[in-house]
Chains A and B, each alone.
Chain A
Amino acid sequence: MVKTINLYKSFNGKWAVQNLNLHIKKGEFYCLLGPNGAGKTTTLKLLTTLLRPSRGKIYIKGLDIEKYPYESKKIIGFIPDTPFIYENLTAQEFLTFIGNIFKIDKKELAKKIEYYFDIFGLITYRDCLLKEYSHGMRQKIVYISNFLHEPEVLFIDEPLVGLDPQAIHLIKHLLLEKVKSGLTILMCTHILSIAEELSHRVGILHAGELIAEGTLEELRRNIDKTSLEEIFLTLTKNLRK
């Protein structure tokens, strides 16, 4: 579903991502881990066309995103770590705007918005400007905006920043449910317990390079450590030395 071939990205001559080869299957929950500055966000931005690769190819559902950007954008969703959205629109207006861009049927859109407002507990704030929302509430709106057009691949950067425990529980539940029904997720996070709990496979990125990849079991076997935290620390520590 998501495939990168020898992907490189440099900023002012410095490599942020180097020789990245990812292969994520349909319905897979893939988690990308790495210390600060490892290139996780850059990778997500490359996969979502927000950045252009310096070298290499990216395929989403077999489509080369350089050649078919609009077709591939129809099937992807992106949840950034900081929810920058139009602050002077109300939540209802913003979601209607997104729905119209993705050409969702009017009635269906209204139903979906109503449903997600309800489950995220935002009904009473639907007609308030987004600038009056807290960080967590905005993050919820970004989640809803991505669920509206039912993407086939979802890219998430730090999924739970600023969310309350109830929302965290709800989102985890929703994501797992959607993965079961065929959604592919590539998520970047620092919270190792989340990765441990949700992901099918884990990739560890360091200085732009993928230094380890596999299921938790495979990683445990190869590194000879029991928890993901220990695996992560061992791998990144060795490289730092």
Chain B
Amino acid sequence: MKTIIYFKIRALKNLISKYFLSSPLRSILIVCFYVLAMGVIYLSIWGGFQFISSLGELSFIIIKRLIFIIFFITFFMIALSFAILYYTSSFRSKETEFLITLPYSYWELSFYKFTESALLASWLPLGGLILFIIVYTQINNLSILIPLLSIFYLIPFILIASSLGYIFCILVLRFLDLRKVFAIIVLSVIVVLYFFPPLKEKNMNIFYIISEEIVFFKISQLWFMPFSWPGWVIVDLENGKFINSFIFLINLWTLSILSLNFIHSYGGNVFKSLFLKHSVPKHKRQYRQGFLDKLFTLKIFPLHMGSFFLKDVKLFVREPVLWLQFLIFFGLMFFYFINIRRFSYNLLGDIWKNLIAFLNTFSILCITSALSIRFIFPQWSLEGKSYWILKLSPLNIKNIYFEKFIFSLIAFLPVSLTLIYIANKMLKVTSNVFFLTIWIVFISTCSLVSFSLGWGAYFADFKREYYLKAVESLGGFINIIINFSYIVVTVFTFTFLNHLIITRNVLFFKKYIFYILGGWGILSILLSTLITYIGIRKLKNKEY
């Protein structure tokens, strides 16, 4: 197994040196961008913490809860990413077919694939977590040892999350039909959301709202759940409860070693049976012309555009790895709406109302951004080695780009607009804020779609066997930074303007709010056009 890992590292080294030698300036620029991006993320987290600190005594509670929420979200993100990566790299991979022919045992292969998937699924969240812990330490004037020793509680945390992803992947592949699993999860989420009781007793106390009404906060702190353990390690250390902190650390390591031992012992057999099950050709299923074919051949769009739509829809629907990622979306939605249902927004003061309404917009844009990075960014890489078909078609690349843009917009706008509509209705926001947030979400969704499609085109890699790895690549990282920066700037600007209108009744802003909104819209369109132009230009020059 050491040999495979050694040569994988060699291959990576060769790739990096080839990249560097082909254009040293570009490589230096990319490194600079990485450093700059880290700086931006660091400053964003810092800014966020500073803002929360300015909320007075409440800030202490919110900051404490935030650390648990970050670990909670990261835990499930890593688990799901791991499950998808493990499935594609183990059972849909040419590399596995090659490795199987080599004198390696199944458990070695299983363990190697586990390590590879865990690394790929966690490197980006790990970076974010470390930055978050550094800022958290500085804001709370804690010992520098907490970030320095973070690796001791983050490694087992990642291993446990990956093990959960592994178990989920294996169970689904072994016993369940992917479509049924997806349908069951989605239906359960809807049912729970519908029947989840709103709080009977309403309370104006913001401390009460945060501790009792926001379910997210409560669940993320459950002491017996592994996702809360790193948070408890830090918080107990901070409070001087060294024994408690140490116990949580021991818990993390014990569970991670136990999981690894389980995978090491049984993983080989499971890997073998699943590989054989998935490598045997299945019964050839027949797909006759259906509703979709009829819909897209209607003369709503030009024929070639309809054909592209149809192709993209079918490729998406028939690729479980793609639509399974919607589970992330439904997971986020679940907690999001449960929190809103129980939230006593109408009892809050104007300042809090403004803040919550824009925080809500921020959350919806973050969800839209996460979805656009997951689904739109890899759209070009999804063409993969079949890109030669598009490249040889007698169509301008702009037309194909435009088709993908319209397709993405048709899929995304209803989602984001419905979310902001429902959330605003649940919160019972004022009509001004209602239309303002709808406009912001509309323009931002168009921009986020453009950014993801543009960067996806710029960084498209048609030779990559697994297009989903594109999301974890440099291009995916850049896309995350740009989207996040755009959302932060947008939401902060309008929150602040509205705050000024509410608190100081600044007439200037009230009078010119429409011009400001228009100006921001134009700026967004310009930025989107620029990234689109960069993407199309790169695609035109891209060689196959």
Residues of A participating in the B interface, judged by any CB pair closer than 8 Å: 12, 45, 48-52, 70-71, 73-74, 76, 78, 80, 82, 84-86, 88-90, 92-93, 96-98, 100-103, 125, 127-129, 132
Contact = CB atoms under 8 A, between A and B. Distances in A.
Interface of B: 18, 21-22, 281-282, 284-289, 293, 303-304, 306-307, 310-311, 314-315, 318-319, 384-386, 388-389, 391-396, 541, 543-544
B22 A74 contact: no
Task: Specify which of A80, A85, A93 lies most central, judged by the most chain B CB atoms within 10 Å of its CB.
Answer: A93
Contacts of B314: 88-89, 93
Given A50-B391, A132-B282, A86 B386 contact: yes
Contact of B304 (A78, A101, A129, A132): A101
Task: Specify which of B304, B394, B396, B544 lies most central, judged by the most chain A CB atoms within 10 Å of its CB.
Answer: B394
- Ranked 7 nearest A-B pairs via Cβ: A84-B385, A100-B307, A88-B318, A50-B544, A127-B286, A73-B394, A74-B394
Given A78-B388, A127-B287, A128-B287, 15 more contacts: A12-B18, A45-B544, A49-B392, A52-B543, A73-B392, A80-B388, A85-B386, A85-B389, A86-B311, A88-B314, A89-B311, A98-B389, A100-B303, A100-B307, A129-B287
Given A51-B544, A100-B306, A100-B307, A84 B286 contact: no
Nearest to A78: B392
A90 B392 CA distance: 20
Nearest to B281: A132
B315 A86 contact: yes
A78 B544 CA distance: 13
A73 B393 contact: yes
Nearest to B284: A128
A142 to B, nearest CB: 9
A150 B543 CA distance: 25
B32 to A, nearest CB: 23
Contacts of B18: 12
A52 B384 contact: no
Nearest to A50: B544
Contacts of B293: 93
Task: Specify which of A74, A76, A101 lies most central, judged by the most chain B CB atoms within 10 Å of its CB.
Answer: A101
Contacts of B21: 12
A128 B393 contact: no
Nearest to A149: B394
B394 A90 contact: no
A127 B314 CA distance: 13
Contacts of A51: 543-544
A66 B404 CA distance: 25
Nearest to A133: B284
Contacts of B385: 82, 84
Given A45-B544, A88-B315, A127-B286, A50 B392 contact: yes
